[in-house]
Amino acid sequence: MRLSAYFMPTLKETPAEAEIVSHRLMLRAGMVRQASAGIYSWLPLGLRVLKKIERIVREEQDRAGAQEVLMPTIQSADLWRQSGRYDAYGPEMLRIADRHGRDMLYGPTNEELITEIFRTSVKSYRELPRMLYHIQWKFRDEVRPRFGVMRGREFLMKDNYSFDLDYEGAKKSYNKMFVSYLRTFARLGLQAVPMAADTGPIGGDLSHEFIILADTGESEVFCHRDFLDFDVLGAEVDYEADLEPVVQAWTRLYARTDDKHDPAVFEREVPADKRVQRRGIEVGHIFYFGTKYSEPLKAQVATPGGESVAVHMGSYGIGVSRLVGAVIEASHDKDGIIWPEAVAPFKVGLINLKIAAPDCNKAGEEIYAKLQEAGVEVLYDDRDERPGAKFAGMDLIGLPWQLVIGPRGLDKGVVELKRRAGGEREELSLEAALARLTG
Ligand code: ATP
Ligand code: MG
């Protein structure tokens, strides 16, 4: 993509309404525009990141055996009346009436609808287990939408729902999602810590929030350093095998949020040199809720013995749009965003310092063409602009690599390659630079 033709309305000034760094940087980099409170339009640069996150989330859901569906954003109130949540949900639910006066709502979540789909389609234990997910916009009329896309009113969520015959089966599904979440966040380039969360009236221990570490996070995190050193992606996962030992190994290590934190327990269980106390952002939540919805909505299957029982369910959410902001909170510096390679909108920013000079122009066009041929996503700053503005702009949007072509380098037969994350710069031949970026 040529920057001269790219729709990326960056801002020079820091927007006054943005309280936190990710919101400021997303507005300044031209990733999103606020449409109304807590509701955003996604512009090309931001949408590329959102799509990349969505793709990784989807791949890891599929890998764990979940199947993708797509349910609507607008739902009928009837099912919610049956589950008892139409009144219980309160003012966070956006309620609408259609032209016939029928009560509708913009879905804040989908337990009722997926349970209804299941109820009318599955009748026997032979068709279990099942995991069905979708990636869809939700609406929650949050009291205080803030922090940009991190606490929006309209936001993109991946929500998965599992159906099993009994608790043992549900636990297996839960464990699959637990491991799948660890893999998902690791692939996004994030350090995620699973934290035991409240199970409410359901009880038991099958509820975890996944918190990624970021100094500006809303939650306080206490954990064992081994959490952070564990190489999730290095460990081969077989989703057909018994995952209980993997999950146990993780949950045995201490990890609590502030509301569950007991300093005495932390000090007793974790050696001093292994204690980590940080802040974090909730990006995912998994929990088992048994027959909470299958009972009232009558989602029953026949057991091998022929009796009819309500299925055991779990639900598993990931805040896809929140993650865009959360990644920035976890990875930025004073100059701008530092994208992990997996979610970067482009891999390389190609900076041409002197577009007007014929040799620079020729070299720029050549490199741009070669990178594209090799399938490398590249944003080419081919504008006639001051070098200072080009460098600052590239640092702001945070692409992992910057490749700089200038008249002085070209005379020596070299270009400059800068890694955004550490700031290291290296002069090397054009061929070597290309080999590095395409390798
Ligand atoms: P929170 O405590 O932050 O309000 P929640 O418990 O309401 O979260 P869930 O209902 O479990 O969240 O939703 C699953 C995921 O959706 C959350 O882990 C979070 O990543 C994301 N999410 C929830 N509310 C919002 C929001 N208002 N804006 C953006 N993402 C959200
Ligand atoms: Mg909430």
Task: Return d(Cα 351, Cα 349) in angstroms, integer.
Answer: 6
- The pLDDT assigned to 273 comes to 92
If you measure from the C-alpha of residue 155 to the centroid of ligand 1, how many angstroms do you get, rounded to a whole number?
9
Residue 10 C-alpha to ligand 2 middle, in angstroms? 31
- Confidence at 222, pLDDT banded by 50, 70, 90: confident
Cα–Cα distance for residue pair 415/364, rounded to 1 Å: 10
- pLDDT classification of 256: cutoffs 50, 70, 90: low
Amino acid code (one letter) for 235: A
Ligand 1 centroid distance, CA of 322 (Å): 8
- Kindly list the distances between the CA atom of residue 64 and the CA atoms of 52, 176, 185, in Å, as whole numbers in the listed order: 19, 6, 14
Ligand 1 site-directed mutation target among 34, 155, 286, 323, most atoms within 8 Å of CB: 155
Residue 52's SS3 state is helix
Q: Is the pLDDT of residue 236 over 70?
A: yes
Distance (Å, whole) CA 426 – CA 402: 11
How much is the pLDDT for 259?
59
- pLDDT > 80? residue 263: no
DSSP single-letter state for residue 14: P
Specify the pLDDT at position 255: 64
Tell me, what amino acid is at 125? Y
Listed in sequence order, the residues at least 6 apart from 62 whose beta carbon sits closer than 8 Å to its beta carbon are 68
- Provide the whole-model pTM: 0.96
Give the residue from 131, 272, 287 showing the smallest Cα distance to 195: 287
Say if residues 60 and 187 touch (Cβ distance below 8 Å): yes
DSSP strand pairing (39-42 vs 32-36): antiparallel
Query: pLDDT: is 253 or 398 the higher one?
Result: 398
For ligand 1, atom 25, the nearest C-alpha belongs to 151
Average pLDDT, integer, range 199-207? 77
Q: Which residue type is seen at 103?
A: D
Q: What is the pLDDT of residue 232?
A: 86
* CA 266 / ligand 2 centre spacing (Å): 28
Q: How far is CA 335 from CA 7, 188, 246, in A?
A: 21, 22, 39
Provide the 3-class DSSP secondary structure of residue 132: strand
Query: Under DSSP, is residue 402 helix (H, G, I), strand (E, B) or coil?
Result: strand
148 lines ligand 1 (CB under 6 A): no
- Model confidence pLDDT, tens digit, residues 96-155: 999 999 999 999 999 999 999 999 999 999 999 999 999 999 999 999 999 999 999 999
Q: Where are the alpha helices (DSSP H) in 5-145?
A: 21-28, 44-63, 77-83, 85-88, 111-119
| pLDDT greater than 90 at residue 219 | no
DSSP for residue 255:
E
The band of 342, judged by pLDDT with boundaries at 50, 70 and 90, is: very high
Task: pLDDT band for 223, please (50, 70, 90 cuts).
Answer: confident
Residue 273 is which amino acid? D
Judged against a pLDDT cut of 90, whether residue 350 lies above it is answered with yes
Q: What percent of the chain has pLDDT over 70?
A: 97
347 CA distance to ligand 1 centroid (A)? 29
Name the closest-CA residue to atom 31, ligand 1. Answer: 319
Which atom of ligand 1 lies closest to the CA of 210?
18
| Helix axis angle, 358-373 to 430-438, nearest 10° | 30
Ranges of beta strands (E only) in 62-146 are 67-68, 74-76, 94-97, 103-106, 130-139
**What SS3 class is residue 43?**
coil
CB 398, CB 420: distance < 8 Å: yes
- What is the per-residue pLDDT for 341? 97
Q: Which ligand is nearest to the CA of 146?
A: 1
Contact (Cβ atoms closer than 8 angstroms) between residue 340 and residue 188: yes
Structure tokens at 106: 């913009």
- Counting from 1 in the atom list of ligand 1, the atom nearest the Cα of 109 is 10
Which one is predicted more confidently, 396 or 277?
A: 396
What digits encode the pLDDT tens for the residues 145-182? 999 999 999 999 999 999 999 999 999 999 999 999 99
The alpha carbon of residue 31 and the mean position of all alpha carbons in its chain are separated, in whole angstroms, by 16
Helix 21-28 vs helix 320-330: crossing angle, to nearest 10: 100
- Please check the confidence at residue 302 and state whether its pLDDT lies above 80: yes
Q: Are 102 and 81 in contact (CB under 8 A)?
A: no
Distance 262 CA to ligand 2 centre (A): 24
Q: Tell me, using a 6 A CB cutoff, whether residue 319 lines ligand 1.
A: yes
Task: Find the 44 Cα to ligand 1 centroid distance in Å.
Answer: 24
Report which protein residue has its CA nearest ligand 1's atom 28: 151
| 108 within 8 A of 93, measured Cβ to Cβ | yes
pLDDT score recorded for residue 257: 59
Q: How does residue 412 score in pLDDT terms, banded at 50, 70 and 90?
A: very high
Tokens of 416: 């400059």
∠ CA 269-274-275, rounded to 5°: 70
Instruction: For residue range 116-132, list pLDDT tens digits in order.
Output: 999 999 999 999 999 99
Ligand 1 pocket test, pick from 20, 139, 144, 157 with the greatest ligand atom count within 8 Å of Cβ, gives 157
The token pair that represents 362 in the structure block? 């020729």
Residues 6+ apart with CB under 8 A from 425: 416, 417, 418
Tokens, residue 35: 């449409």
User: In whole angstroms, what is the distance from residue 261 CA to residue 402 CA?
Assistant: 43
Ligand nearest to the CA of 320: 1
